[in-house]
Amino acid sequence: MGAASSGAEPTAPSSPYMGAPVELVEAPNGAIANRKILDGIGKVAWTEPTIEQPVEDIWVFGGYGLAPIAVIATDEGLIAFDTGDTEHDGEILLEAIRTVSDKPVKAIVYGHSHTVHGAGVLSEGNTDIPIIGHPGLNAVVQENLKAAGAPAYYPEVGPYLTARMLIQFNAFMPSEGPDAWVVPTNIPPEIDSAFIPVNTPVQEGQVMSVLGQKMQFFTRYGSDDKVHTTVWLPDRKVVFTTLLWSSPPQLYSVRGDVYRDSREWIAGL
């Protein structure tokens, strides 16, 4: 028996992921990309290095590496919230910090286990300073390093996930030309580390004075990993967290990664 035809014309795909046409344009660095990406990318990422000052003596450094960091100036020195994903990030960030303050970094708070690898650079080699973070952060960082840098349930698959991570974050793409990256969310091919282990672990709700600045710490919930630390400055009504970024929520990584539970992320917020 022959198949009957409905006579209906096939529907054209509406999604570019299914073959729908897109308008290609040239980015400022020469990259060829979908116009919709260029029109919206500024809403979810820094497209160039940017220093923002939300309140007096606090600066946010975005676009210098994969993730932003923040710095608090006190009479005793600087407090850094996060340090960059690599030692190289730390070098770039320290140079940027020096444009707003010549005070030394005298304390560091780790927001989570990924943004810890520039610490030794920001501290200028001084390891005898408070390094504040989740009680379990040191163990997570060591496991990640054993797995070649990428978080993995099993270290044996870490090298595969690391290779995918380097592809996802433009490690092998040129910075200019038609094949260049569109957004500078980059990790260099050689992942180096200047990690300083946490020497001042904090608990959920703990209050502490750091370089004269009153801080309250929250460690119960995570997002990118299970060892997040959120900081609240009660006297200044300022919060530092890696639970909420300018980019979409940390739900899952297309490269393959340890599972990120959106229920925990929402509870943390």
Q: Which residues contact 220 (CB under 8 A, 6 or more apart)?
A: 204, 268
Question: Which of 58, 60, 132, 42 is closest to 96 using CA atoms?
Answer: 60
How many Å separate Cα 30 from the centre of its chain?
A: 25
4 is a domain residue: no
168 is a domain residue: yes
Q: What are phi and psi of 210, to 5 degrees?
A: -120, 115
187 is a domain residue: yes
HSE-CB for 114 with a 13 A CA cutoff: 19
- Residue pair 189/183 in contact (Cβ under 8 Å)? The answer is no
5 is a domain residue: no
- pLDDT score for 2: 54
Q: How many other β-carbons are positioned within 10 Å of the β-carbon of residue 34?
A: 14
- pLDDT score for 3: 55
Range of the structural domain that residue 72 is part of: 21-268
* pTM score of the predicted model: 0.85
Q: Which residues contact 10 (CB under 8 A, 6 or more apart)?
A: none
Q: Which two tokens stand for residue 228?
A: 């997040």
- Residue pair 254/210 in contact (Cβ under 8 Å)? The answer is no
203 is a domain residue: yes
- pLDDT score for 191: 73
Query: How does pLDDT run along the chain (269 residues), one tens digit per residue?
Result: 555 555 667 787 888 888 889 999 999 899 999 999 888 888 888 888 999 999 999 999 998 888 899 999 999 999 999 999 999 999 999 999 999 999 999 999 999 998 999 999 999 999 999 999 999 999 999 988 876 666 777 778 878 788 887 888 888 889 899 999 887 777 776 778 999 999 999 999 999 999 999 999 999 998 888 899 999 999 999 999 998 877 666 666 667 777 777 888 888 88
Mean pLDDT of the chain: 88
Q: What are phi and psi of 23, to 5 degrees?
A: -95, 115
Q: Which residue has the tokens 């996802």?
A: 168
- pLDDT score for 122: 98
11 is a domain residue: no
- pLDDT score for 5: 56
1 is a domain residue: no
- Quote the number of domains for the chain: 1
Q: What is the CATH number of the domain that holds 196?
A: 3.60.15.30
Q: pLDDT digit string (tens) for 231-249?
A: 999 999 999 999 887 766 6
99 is a domain residue: yes
